[in-house]
Amino acid sequence: VENLRCESEFHRAHPADEQHAWVAIGLDAVQNAWVRRVTAAHFAGSAVSLLESCKWVTVQDCASIQPVSEIGGYRRHTYYTSGQLTLFLRCRSERGRHDFAAGYLAAGPNAFVECEATAALDFSGPIESWASGVLFDNVTVDGGGLALTNRETDGQGVGWAAANCVLWQCVASVITCRNPPGARNWAIGCWGQFYGDGCWQMPNEFVKPVSLFRGQLAERLRAKAVAALDPPEIPSQPGDARPIEALVRRPFQIPGFLIPEGNPAKQLLESGILEFGMDSLLGREPPPKTPSPIKPLAVRNGWLVCAGELLIGGRIGTTWWRGSVLPTRAREFGAGLTRFVPGRDGPGFTDDLDRLTDSMLQTGKAALEHHWGLWYDRRRDDHQMVRRADGDVWPPFYEQPWARSGQGTAWDGLSRYDLESFNPWYFDRLRQFATLCDRKGLALIHQAYFQHNILEAGAHWADFPWRPANCLQATGFPEPPPYANKKRIFMADAFYDIKHPVRRPLHRLYIRHCLDTLGGCTNVIYLTGEEYTGPLEFVQFWIDTITAWERETGKDVLIGLSSTKDVQDAILADPVRGPAVSVIELKYWWYTADGTLYAPEGGRSLAPRQQLREWRGPKKRSIEQTARQIREYRNRYPDKAILFTGGPADGWAVLTAGGSLPDLPRPDDPRLLRALPRMRPFEPAGRTDRQWALAEPGQNYLVYAGAGAPIRLDLTTDQGVFHVLRINPRTGRTIPDGGVVSGGKVVEFPAEGPGPVVLWLTRYEGGPGPVERGEGNDHE
């Protein structure tokens, strides 16, 4: 990669704008490469970033100028390597934070040679844990420092950052060199203000050789190799330079030594077939992409249906606040649509949304529930409420829906939020994911709010964008916050107060922006918010805002209702708002195992687990009572889809009780998923709380019985003949040797085995005479 000027376009009126490109040149899984004569202007993160899978890479004669970003953590790591055998030669940087940096467990050797940083805002050196064998040779850091040291708890507990590293003939305002246990660090011939117990030799003196890197290279490969480090001569007279056509049109040939023996490409290379020129590369049009057809999500007959089939599968949630940028740990922390790690993509970092949706399909996950992260800066993981001393924020960053203003200083040390301006990256990620859901037959459950910020631990509120200390708007919340017992926050009453003259229009603006972003996608279910236990009035306002938007735009969206029972029942009984609801989620109330109703009151400024702590009744729950709850609301609201979340649930029990989005394995017989949207809840003969059924009379019946329970099915009004297919509840595979049963009577199937039983009866359309199954009782 060479001879480029890369510019990151930014908002010129916003000097700390970060809604633009962060990394100019990023290399990953690359060997035998170079980056040279590249200028990077205005990038927020890195000019050149080499990740841990890089080896034998040279970065030469590059410059980073005029970076644009907040002055905070994980910004302006101008030249960064966590690879091995990488060389940075004559690279320049201005106003970087960690201009020349080595990352986590960088194996080395890595070298920064004859590099210069001006107006540096922080130190250069290893910045993550235990980088080994890093050489800083004739490096100058004006205004900042060079450090081979123990960073202790900084950077999420880096500890010792450097081992067996060398500073040679370097200049910096402050130079720190300390020796870790079992290793040493050296500072030789350096100039600056010195700290540390490392190996210091000839401070404030010139040493020989002038360059350790050049001296060792000369010892190994002689003077010709050292001369290759010198910058190329620039033609000084007209006519000396070669015309650009001579460079562009000259065919480029892959060096043979880069292709291993035995690789089929070796033979093609030797025959000349792999020779190509820049004209062919630049002139070749990529083949047009045909977009995948939409698989729209809709509510049909009380079911969530996608592309003509019942949508089934598990749900995954978004990570609330934990995470790590260590490659060895990042995967532990699940999905996060709006989690951002500069320069890194993949599980636990900035999720690759295409791969995430593919992974959901492969693992049987049908939906993802999204809400914003609990806080942006992971220093707040300590659950303290203190104002941070600086903006050295810790990634992964959980981006918020609102944009930073570039003005003032919020509690986390970065600039304040502007609640009237939205984070383009955040909403673009949601739109991308929703579009992929449309095309792949998945669902996005969009939680508009995240109540956890306004209740329970005071740290939840400390960095929240709506807190007056963190935003430009006068939101009217008390400042300093009234932390109960110096640790708890109860801000729900104020936050949900829709009569407040400032907060009401801010809520409306935010809700409408969510709709403007996602309203063109079909596979989105809109819920009020994660953990929502707030008042009826706010849900009424939320629904009214959505329906007004629908009337204005001519679009319809899937409005879901997830709240306490009293609020749900009031909305559903409302002749105006009730019909607007398409989906009911049963999450914050239930029946206990003995049938006792647990239904805390909404609007009491208590989180779900705080409500549960107050409950003095039985707390044990059961699959049978879960199915009862689902069937009760499905019968009461037959045209609305019922979702169940939390508590004990067998996916087949949820389904046969009438619940949508059951967590089931995909059946091997595709006819079942096409038939289910035509079925409705059906009461088997002598039904108990351990047996549930669905029916499309005359065509299909699906029955579930709990462990050890026989199945009795009343077919007295149905004169057809039906195939009996037993379904393995764990795998979804059908066992087609169940014979047939005739209608016109009550049929019985004895319990088989220790686990639950799932039977599918589908109309028999003729063929060889099958064996009749079940015990029939003539109905008299």
pLDDT at 379 over 90: yes
Separation CA 148–CA 178 (nearest Å): 6
Separation CA 623–CA 625 (nearest Å): 6
Record the pTM: 0.91
What H or E segment, with its residue span, contains residue 573? Answer: helix 565-573
pLDDT at 725 over 70: yes
pLDDT in tens, 28-60: 999 999 999 999 999 999 999 999 999 999 999
Residue-level pLDDT at 272: 47
Calculate Rg over the CA atoms of the chain. Answer: 32
Residue-level pLDDT at 779: 33
pLDDT at 276 over 50: no
Residue-level pLDDT at 649: 84
Separation CA 385–CA 628 (nearest Å): 44
pLDDT in tens, 76-110: 999 999 999 999 999 999 999 999 999 999 998 99
Residue-level pLDDT at 684: 77
Separation CA 58–CA 34 (nearest Å): 5
pLDDT in tens, 223-267: 999 999 998 777 677 766 666 555 544 444 555 544 556 555 555
Residue-level pLDDT at 259: 52
Residue-level pLDDT at 780: 29
pLDDT in tens, 520-557: 999 999 999 999 999 999 999 999 999 999 999 999 99
Pick 720 or 383 by higher pLDDT.
Answer: 383
- Mean pLDDT computed over 698-721: 90
Do residues 469 and 500 touch, judged by C-beta distance below 8 A?
A: no
Cα 619 to chain centroid, rounded: 33
What does the DSSP 8-state code read for residue 605? Answer: S
Q: 769-772 — which CB contacts under 8 Å span 24+ positions? A: 770/723, 770/739, 770/740, 771/739, 771/740, 772/739, 772/740, 772/741, 772/742
Residue-level pLDDT at 707: 84
- Give the sign of the dihedral formed by CA 367, CA 373, CA 377, CA 378: negative
- Mean pLDDT computed over 310-320: 96
Separation CA 474–CA 453 (nearest Å): 18
Residue-level pLDDT at 160: 98
244: left (phi over 0), alpha (psi -120 to 50) or beta: alpha
Q: What is the DSSP string of 483-544?
A: -BTTTEEE-HHHHT-TT-TTHHHHHHHHHHHHHHHHTT-SSEEEEEEET----HHHHHHHHH
pLDDT in tens, 135-190: 999 999 999 999 999 999 999 999 999 999 999 999 999 999 999 999 999 999 99
Domains in the chain, start-ordered, CATH in brackets? 2-227 (2.160.20), 253-283 (no CATH), 683-778 (2.60.40)
pLDDT in tens, 325-360: 999 999 999 999 999 999 999 999 999 999 999 999
Dihedral over alpha carbons 658, 662, 664, 666 (to 10 degrees): 90
Q: How many C-beta atoms lie closer than 10 Å to residue 589's C-beta?
A: 20
Separation CA 318–CA 646 (nearest Å): 15
Separation CA 49–CA 508 (nearest Å): 41
pLDDT in tens, 750-776: 887 788 999 999 998 765 444 555 555
Per the listing, tokens 């900035």 go with: 350
The beta strand positions in 258-401, using DSSP E, are 297-300, 303-306, 309-310, 314-317, 339-340, 365-370, 397-398
pLDDT in tens, 478-523: 999 999 999 999 999 999 999 999 999 999 999 999 999 999 999 9
Residue-level pLDDT at 776: 53
Percent of the chain topping pLDDT 90: 84
Residue 483 sits at φ, ψ, to 5 deg, of -70, 120
Local confidence band at 281 (pLDDT 50, 70, 90 cut-offs): very low
Do residues 755 and 724 touch, judged by C-beta distance below 8 A?
A: no
The tally of CA atoms less than 13 A away on the side-chain side of residue 71 is: 13
Cα 322 to chain centroid, rounded: 12
Distant-in-sequence, close-in-space partners of 284: CB < 8 Å, separation ≥ 6? none
Question: If you average pLDDT over every residue of the chain, what do you get?
Answer: 92
- What's the CA angle centered on 228, arms 147 and 82, to 5 degrees? 35
Cα 652 to chain centroid, rounded: 30
